[in-house]
Structure 1
Amino acid sequence: MSQRQTTTAGAPVPTNETSKTAGPRGPVLLEDYQLIEKLAHQNRERIPERTVHAKGWGLQGTFTVTNDITKYTRAKIFSEVGKKTEVLSRWSTVAGEAGAADAERDVRGFSLKFYTEEGNWDMVGNNTPVFFVRDAYKFPDFIRTQKRHPKTNLRSPEAMFDFWAGQPESVHQVTILMSDRGIPQNPTHMNGYGSHTFSMWNHEGTRYWVKFHFKTHQGHDYYTNEKAKELIGQTRESYQEDLWNMIEAGKHPKWTLKIQVMEEEQAASLDFNPFDVTKVWPHKDFPLIEVGELEMHTVPENYFQLVENAAYSPSNVVPGIGFSPDKMLQARVWSYADAHRYRLGTHYEALPANAPKAASVAHYHKDGAMRFFQNDTGNSNAYYEPNQYEDAPRPDPSVMEPPLKIDPEAYRYPQETEEVDFVQPRALYKDVLTDDERVRLHQNMAGAMAPCSDSVKERWYAVLERVHPDYAKGVREAVESAPALPVTDDTPVKAAE
């Protein structure tokens, strides 16, 4: 038997087909409140899309600890081998709007919300271990170059490469973006990285610097530009389709969480800044340590409720996990939560996607729009703090983070580009990429910068020259010989780990 349709106030609805009118031919009566309600609600069905990472896909899953790391952290999520924690994922492109095609060349967001017993821990990262800029002062400018030109309302390669040429530390990330890694086959075929340097501390109060790596079990498969164009001509929703079909077939994607660990005192003795998000930590010096396995196994019942409303922020940490002097991270800790307050409302953390599952929530926030939950902690007199009531929420000094030891000179950021900014991109170009991958890198970059002015091209060639002369030469020749030779192989490209 079907359910009886009601108004939002719970009254039964007599019809959902015709408007109430003054006669057979109208006009419509103002008293048809249900018609007005339906139309008014439709006008308000959309919320602001994310300024960046607007197009996204998500699954629910489970994280299981497989290795003991309690020597590094007191976080209860890692307290014992075999422990399981519920997780909500969201993967996304960066530049495209909500209706953009899934298989565009772009960095991908890789965000995970762990519903731990101590509150939510959000790992808000990308599928790349580095980023374009190291100072948040330049982040709004960078994002504007990825969006639409104010006059043409078109994407502007001129703006992108002009900005990158003026921020040469971006060449590391741009090289990854323009390589085979720039178009993953779908979210399950890419790694996830915290990118920033974070910190952990143990029960003794000893702090360690850490980086988070989620290594895919599905292999690193990517599309060429040509295959991506063909795919987008067939469907703009290829990622969502792949994830749906994978889960429907019982194929649950998995990743292994690994961490790199640096002792607190080591940071001052390195020949690069370990808190610079445009740099990676060499694995030979800081080897990967296994932590656990992530398995995503469920398509959310309602996309809007659990994926669109999901609010990820680096500010969501738990005792035993903290921040670092990374300038970009420090800014994100504030700006992400503020973006959610704007997009979802004052009480966004109380929405089902964001509400903690295992921890009791007791705070002194009050009132505001959409206060749809009780928050008097069982004592209506305790609406401020400090107060005299024994049952009122109190801070817990036992979870206090150990003091952060910062030497401003040791942890300084270069105000101008230095030679160290080109060391790691050079190693990536010469030692990691194969000859064939370098050829495709040259062609991909040439295609992306083809519409740029000669002055911007020359500025970018100068950046590539500082990485390696062959890099600049290869891209220049690819630009001058455009159109580039087509890649005829329709199979996804296998990239190195």
Structure 2
Amino acid sequence: MSKDRSRDPQRPGGKDEQLEAYRVDDGGQRLTTNQGLRVTEDEHSLKAGERGPTLLEDFHLREKITHFDHERIPERVVHARGFGAHGYFQVYESMAPYTTAKFLQDPAAKTPVFVRFSTVAGSRGSADTVRDVRGFATKFYTEEGNYDLVGNNMPVFFIQDAIKFPDLIHAVKPEPNNEIPQAATAHDTFWDFVGQNTESAHMVMWAMSDRSLPRSFRMMEGFGVHTFRFVNAQGEGHFVKFHWKPTLGVHSLVWDETQKIAGKDPDFNQRDLWDAIESGTYPEYEFGVQMIPEDEEFSLGFDILDPTKLWPEEQVPVKIIGKLTLDRNTDNFFAETEQVAFHPGHVVPGIDFTNDPLLQGRLFSYTDTQLTRIGGPNFHEIPINKSVAPVHNNQRDGMHRMTINRGPVSYHKNALAGGDPSPAPAEEGGYAHYAEKVEGRKVRQRSDSFKDHFSQATLFWNSMSPPEKRHIVSAFRFELGKVKNKDVRQRVVDMLGQIDGALASQVAEGIGALPPAHSGGSEVTRPAPALSMANTMKSAKTRKVAVLAADGADDASLSAHLEAWKAAGMVPEIVSVKLGYLASDAEREIEVSHTFLTADAVLFDAVYVVGGRQSVDALLAEPKAADFVKEAFVHYKPIGATGEGTELLAACGTKMPVEGAPGVVVEQGDAAGDGFSGAFIEAVAAHRHWDRQV
């Protein structure tokens, strides 16, 4: 479905038409060199005799090997492991009262986008499901030029000033003496950094929460992190924070599950996004903004330019203004996902910066990074990065230049070319910086308004549901349990005491540290419900259900339930003892998608055991079938069974699926009845059943 749409000439904005000129179909074509010379042989190098030495004059061999030697560009220092997709953005209403940005004006217009999701700490070869922040970067191909919204799935960051960014990354990366551990924060240097830099306290709470274990890129929020500025046609400014809110809600994996998925399918999140788009169930995210008028800059009781602070939605509501839809996968991962270059400094008229000290440093760093990673100043001419708006300037030459500029003039001002290209006034769409008054002495200091490191960390803790709090405590115990230095462990516990005494004491008990001598956090008691994933949107749409069945499966039950679940947007897949086809008790052939060897419960959202005497006997004879159900149960997933299928649940042993347990739906009687299907859909929509005793 998505492949057909990718060639749709009516696709908005012209980006696909632009990329079409660079696409090549090799089907039915003859092999050539990079210069177009047809090649007669590609199996053997040119030699002096059949057993003689290879000759240096073999230009085809040299070109092929040289290109291979240089096929890999340097890995991103952070966000190395990423996955991208194309789509479009549509605004719901004109934002003219707040910004002149054209792509935020016309509800009928569709702006093409490219989005890259990523993990932060690991290398390209690491797994998708590690505990980590996730990147959420969006490139809007607007008629005014490219706009890059470079964000994360968490609204705050570890540090307040960009000068500390190299220190943070050096601490979080594998330790330099042994390059261990990969894609993990559970080691001494990271937690030493946290204990010595308490401004990280708020972000660490997010990182230790379930937000760092997203079920899917389709089920995680995105945030611009920094405070930006909207500017309208009258030159009036509003401080603004950007939000992406997934229409499927915000959902997570559980820690034990993530570790197993890393071995079973390290590409779990990437495969999930690809499959969703290929099947036509396009991921959607609503775009929201929080806005504060310029004259209310100091109204919230904290510094709104501090990137370790969020604006509580209960104080500053999120105004939903549009929707992002991802509807086409890439044609080539390297050419698009790997070569795409984002930069928070790529803005359009109507969007400007603030004095956020972390943002200010990023405006320098990203250009420098792309120069190094992609090998020169012309990264903007690579097809995936190329603006759909015309580009005219006096920048010339450099590695990988793709534009052929005519004429002798490459400077401004000039008379020989009639002064062209000439600057555009603001009324013609030229970018005008917000006229902010700036004054002060040159100092290496930070405002006193940035000194509160703990109040929002406490707010986050107080806003969590009981299961979320349990998971946070376990995460700290795991992470700090991997730290060898006892002083580092104790220092972090003492820091946690400034957030909440009970939290710190529970962590201390699990890692052999002393409870904190001093505790804080009691003065912050009112929770912010929007911070808890317990309050998110819940839906059964796109949830994967493992249907355990074998020959002799109850055909009436299977047919009725699968039809109902597909109608609800769920994705049932047959898991059996062997691949091929199984024969139901009505002798209907049903294709098997997975076996117990190729699949695992951690790769599904729910499990259903169909009835049928012969089928259930075969499942009972396969030990991995009961293990499949057990694992789903201990991961709090919905489990259903009808007819004889309930016997497999009983075979799981003590504290295992029984009728009446939360999220366990059983039907002994009319297995094909609508009541079971509806109850199971409801259980699947709940995502997890945290009140289950496991």
Indicate conservation of the 8 Å contact 1:255/1:293, yes or no.
yes
2:432 aligned to which of 400, 408, 412: 400
Q: How many Å apart are 1:416 and its aligned residue?
A: 9.8
Confirm or deny that 1:212 pairs with 2:242: yes
1:225 corresponds to 2:249 = no
* 1:391 CA drift (Å): 6.1
Partner residue in 2 for 1:264? 294
| Mapped pair 1:381 → 2:408 | yes
Distance 1:94 1:352 in 2: 25
Task: After superposition, give the CA deviation of every residue in 1:431-474 in whole Å (9 maximum; x if it has no partner).
Answer: x1011211111011110111222101111111111111111112
Matches within 5 A, 1:74-473: 74-155=100-181, 157-344=187-374, 345-357=376-388, 359-376=389-406, 380-388=407-415, 389-390=417-418, 392-398=420-426, 399-406=431-438, 413-414=446-447, 418=451, 420-430=452-462, 432-452=463-483, 453-473=485-505
CA displacement at 1:352 relative to structure 2: 0.6
SS of aligned partner of 1:48: coil
* d(CA) in 1 for partners of 2:491, 2:133: 23
CA contact (8 A) 1:220 1:494 kept: no
Measured in 2, the distance between the counterparts of 1:416 and 1:130 equals: 16
Return the offset for 1:494.
8.2
1:22 to 36, 39, 48: 48
Post-superposition CA distance 1:318-370 (Å, at most 9, x none): 0100100000001101111110011112100111111101x110111111112
Asked if structure 1 preserves the Cα contact closer than 8 Å seen for 2:381 and 2:401, the reply is no
Counterpart contact for 2:303–2:450, Cα < 8 Å:
no
Query: TM-score, normalising length from structure 1?
Result: 0.93
How far has the Cα of 1:407 moved from its partner?
Answer: 6.8
Q: How far apart in 1 are the matches of 2:127 and 2:227? A: 31
Residues 47-66 of structure 1 deviation map (CA, whole Å, 9 limit, x = unaligned): 10000000000000000111
Contact 1:227/1:490 (8 A) holds in 2? no
Please, which moves more after superposition, 26-35 or 264-273? 264-273
Q: 2:82 maps to which residue?
A: 56
**Residues in 2 aligned to 1:117 and 1:124: alpha-carbon distance in whole angstroms:** 19
Q: In the TM superposition, what is the alpha-carbon distance from 1:477 to its structure 2 partner?
A: 2.1
* Structure 1 residues 72-118: Cα deviation after superposition (integer angstroms, max 9, x where no partner): 00011112222210000001000000101011000000000000000
Note closer, same or farther for the CA distance 1:48–1:253 as it changes in structure 2 (3 Å cut).
same
8 Å contact from structure 1 (residues 131, 277) kept in 2: yes
Shift of 1:265: 1.8
How far is 1:381 from its partner?
A: 3.4
**Are the aligned partners of 1:222 and 1:494 in contact in 2 as well (CA < 8 Å)?**
no
Q: Partner of 1:488 in structure 2? A: 634
Q: CA RMSD in A?
A: 2.0
Structure 2, unmatched stretches of 5+, are 1-26, 514-630, 638-686
Give the structure, 1 or 2, with the largest relative contact order (CA under 8 Å, sep 6 or more): 1
Measured in 2, the distance between the counterparts of 1:402 and 1:47 equals 37
Shift of 1:406: 4.6
**Cα distance in 2, alignment partners of residues 370 and 138 from structure 1:** 33
Q: Following the alignment from structure 2 to structure 1, what is the Cα–Cα distance between the partners of residues 448 and 189?
A: 22
Counterpart in the other structure of 2:590: none
Cα distance change, pair 408–173 in 1 and its aligned pair in 2 (3 A)? farther
Q: Distance in 1 between matches of 2:440 and 2:323?
A: 37
Q: Check the 8 A contact 1:91/1:111 in 2, yes or no.
A: yes
Greater alpha carbon shift after TM alignment, 112-121 vs 144-153: 144-153
Q: CA 1:334–1:258 in structure 2 vs 1: closer, same or farther (change >3 Å)?
A: same
* TM-score for both structures, normalised by structure 2: 0.67
Structure 1 unaligned residues grouped into runs of 5+ = none
The size of the alignment, in residue pairs, is 483
Q: For each residue in 1:135-157, what CA deviation from the matched residue of structure 2 results, as whole angstroms up to 9, or x when unmatched?
A: 11111000011112111221361
Amino acid at match of 1:351: I
| Structure 1 residue ranges, 4+ long, deviating more than 6 angstroms after superposition | none
The residue type paired with residue 462 of structure 1 is D
Q: Which amino acid is the alignment partner of residue 387 of structure 2?
A: P
> In 2, are the aligned partners of 1:67 and 1:290 still within 8 Å (CA)?
no
> Which amino acid counterpart does residue 61 of structure 1 have in structure 2?
G
Cα distance in 1 for partners of 2:460, 2:449 equals 22
Q: Which has the larger radius of gyration?
A: 2
SS in 2 for 1:145: helix
Compared CA separation, residues 393 and 494, structure 1 to 2 (3 A): farther
1:465 maps to amino acid: G
Q: Is the 8 A contact 1:276 1:413 kept in 2?
A: no
Which amino acid counterpart does residue 154 of structure 1 have in structure 2?
Answer: I
Please tell me whether the aligned partners of residues 60 and 300 of structure 1 are also in contact (alpha carbons under 8 angstroms): yes
